[in-house]
Structure 1
Amino acid sequence: MEVEYIFEEDTKEPTKIHFQFSREFCIQFGISFVANLLIFITGTHIGWFGPTILKLSLNTSEIQLTSSEISWLTATLPLGGGIGPVFGAVLANRIGRKNTILLATIPEIITWILIAYAKNIYHLCIAQFIKGIIGGAAVAVVPMYVAEISSPQFRGINGMFFQLHYTLGALFEILLVSFVSIMVNAWIASIIPVLLFVIFIWMPESPYYFLIKNEIENARKSLRILKQSDNIDRQLEHLRRVVVEEQNEWGLL
């Protein structure tokens, strides 16, 4: 699904879209950067695992894992990741893209606390399974949100944050685990979802989601923030038609 927020009058000739730095770009760029912190967090799930397994395999580790337990711990993250996108997609359409991203930060914080005080393999497996669900949900909802709040000429540069944040998140954990204990690492890593929640709560919801819910005025307010303009009637009307056409196509009306 691709949503256009800048539109020209219908013409036979295609309209060339020019990229330019503006207040509109800065707002959408900043919102996309913050939203993708959830992808950064997903990257930390991958970066944490390898170095931590090496530490848990040492005789000096408080939780010493056997090869069988390591196999179970390895399987729990992708297992959760397999069902996570379903939760992400359902929640995104039920409670909104923004609220789904915010909601994902809460279990993320809890899982790091669980890891910090883990006493056995079961605690770690539960934490990894939940992290898998969070990561899967993030992969479903974050690109959806970024695409829907980005104007066409900014969508490409905003979309680059996905891979960038994921890679940086993995690298962050690989380096961090090497220098601190598992408990200290968990407390440091838990700061990121807290920051995401505190900052992202001020971000606008997707206008597309508001129109799906027939909340026209909320969609108008959201577009004003994203476009940094009061002249959004044409964009709003076009987006409303897109929503109606898609709902008719899927037999929802």
Structure 2
Amino acid sequence: MGEITLTTISRNEKDEKTSHPAVQQGSEWPQIFAVFVAALTSLNNSILYNWTSPAIPILISSDEYEDISIDAASYLTVIPPVVSILSAPMQGFLLDRFGRKITLHVSGIFHVAAWICIIFSKSLYVLYFSRVLFGLANSAMFTILPIYISEVTTPKVRGRWGNLMAFFMYFGQFITNAIGYFFSIKIAACIFISTPIMFMILFALCPETPYFYLSKNKPELAENSLKKLRRLEDVSKEFSQLNDDLKRQLSETGTFKDCIMIPSNRKAILIVGMARALQQYTGISSFAAYNQYIFQEAGTSLDKGYSSMIYALSLTVSSFVALMVIDKLGRKRPMVFSCFCCFLVLGAEATYFYLKDYNIVDVSSISWLPVVGMVSYVVVFSFGLSLIPILLLGELFSTSIRSKAGTIITILSSTYMTSMNKIFQVLMTNYGLMAPFILFTVCAFMGIFLSYFFVPETKGKTLEEIQQMLKKNDKPT
């Protein structure tokens, strides 16, 4: 689910340090604060997205709501990505028209409104409407947040803290399952509504990006923004370089047509689109939406709520560890490794459900396998499929088309999530849990070869070097 670690200026960190000696004498904390607060939108998003995991089992068995079938409840997972697809182009327009900060800030209102609907809902249709509101906030977060983070940070800060977006996504999954298990839907919603309110209060203290102000020909505001972010009075050298960079970037064409017609841009979209497809079609979004239901149907000896908490906590911890080391491992090898290991784990899960669903053998003695398998899955997923597609999004697109490319990838990613969540429900309902796990296994197997032949190795390369690599006639390696 996201786009992280974007770079606004195509030069390496060493050159930037030389060009901006003043930056090294300032403080990094204003940037870290801005990144941390902005990334709270991904926490809000994650909680709302994963809300269906503890909520669906309650909805289909509770007398508090009208009779709700698993098929009707499944649309709670489908509506947000559909809305994100439809609203993503609007978000690209708004961020260029009104600014990164204002547009991202407004997304908090939709988060609050979605929780209010859940708190006061007595009908499934009100819950559907809450998912529409969430879908609007979802497209804003994925389209705008990576751009905001990239434009307020130096490469050093961005490299160390830019992936907070991903960490908050997985942390949100854990607290959703934990709080959603111990509290009712309405009480949990009353707790969760505090997170977007906190974001809206704190984000008011953060500045708009200097990049946006310069693009609107407001140099004084851009310089003031830079001073706040660097905590320096003299930012003339960095400001001058940023101004020159912007003029060069704006001289390049950056339309939706250029995303497709220019070979290097088209290649980048195909690579990132493929990587995001592998990320989704190996099951991560379906597991997020249905993991408590999966554990309930799997017949594990451990309670489904505790099982889901172990799953989500494992994902959070392994993702944090991966954030610390992933840049040292490169891009291609972690993707191949992650796909291969996911293939093995998902294959074992599919075998378990085949034996259980068709009563071929008694699996009660290995009822622990679904939990162990899912924990193993998130660990190996975190070290490749989780972060590499997001890193590639920030690295493969030039600045001139980044907002347009981000919109396209948001639409593609939302399409993947929409189709996968519905396919998972249909396969599970009609053929048992074995069927979707077989599909995930096949996709992971295909991902081994797709990652090896098509994922470029961008470790240590500047944005300009990556662009030159993409412009070559031979496929990137």
Picking from 98, 112, 116, the partner of 1:95 is: 98
Percent identity over the alignment is 24
Note closer, same or farther for the CA distance 1:177–1:8 as it changes in structure 2 (3 Å cut): closer
Secondary structure of 2:67's match? coil
Task: Tell me which residue corresponds to 2:184.
Answer: 181
Structure 2 CA distance for aligned equivalents of residues 159 and 84 of structure 1: 25
Q: Distance between the aligned counterparts of 2:15 and 2:109, measured in 1?
A: 45
1:4 CA drift (Å): 4.2
In the alignment, which residue of structure 2 is the partner of 1:226? 229
Aligned counterpart, 1:215: 218
Paired with 1:16 and 1:154, the residues of 2 have a C-alpha distance of: 16
Pair 1:78 & 2:75 matched: no
TM-score by length of 1: 0.89
2:11 matches 1:2:
no
Structure 2, unaligned runs of 5 or more: 1-5, 256-477
How far residue 86 of structure 1 moved from its aligned partner, in angstroms, is: 2.5
Query: 1:46 Cα deviation (Å)?
Result: 2.3
**Which of 157, 167, 171 lines up with 1:168 in the alignment?**
171
**2-11 vs 207-216, which moves further:** 2-11
Cα gap change, 1:5/1:223 in structure 2, threshold over 3 Å: closer, same or farther?
A: farther
In structure 2, what is the Cα distance between the partners aligned to 1:34 and 1:66? 38
Return closer, same or farther for 1:238/1:126 CA change in 2, 3 Å cut-off. Answer: same
CA-CA distance at 1:25 after TM superposition:
1.4
SS in 1 for 2:251: helix
Using the TM superposition, give the Cα deviation of residue 5 of structure 1 relative to its aligned residue in structure 2, in angstroms: 11
One of 57, 70, 74 as aligned partner of 2:60: 57
Structure possessing the higher radius of gyration over alpha carbons? 2
Greater mean deviation of Cα atoms: 63-72 or 100-109 = 63-72
**Structure 1 gap segments, 5+ residues each:** none
- For 1:156, the aligned partner's letter is G
CA-to-aligned-CA distance 1:165-206 (integer Å, 9 cap, x gap): 111112111111111111111111111111111111011110
Matched position secondary structure for 1:249 = coil
Q: Is the 8 A contact 1:80 1:132 kept in 2?
A: yes
Q: What letter matches 1:197 in structure 2?
A: M
Runs of 4+ aligned structure 1 residues displaced above 3 Å come to: 4-11, 14-18, 20-23
Equivalence map 1:13-92=2 (5 Å): 24-92=27-95
Deviation at 1:24, TM superposition (A): 2.0
- Partner Cα distance (1:221, 1:51) in 2: 46
| AA partner of residue 223 (structure 2) | R
Q: By percentage of residues, which structure has more helix? A: 2
Residue in 1 that maps onto 2:112: 109
Structure 2 equivalent of residue 153 of structure 1: 156
Q: Distance in 1 between matches of 2:10 and 2:194?
A: 34
Taking the aligned partners of 2:254 and 2:49, their CA distance within structure 1 comes to 40
1:205 and 2:205 correspond:
no
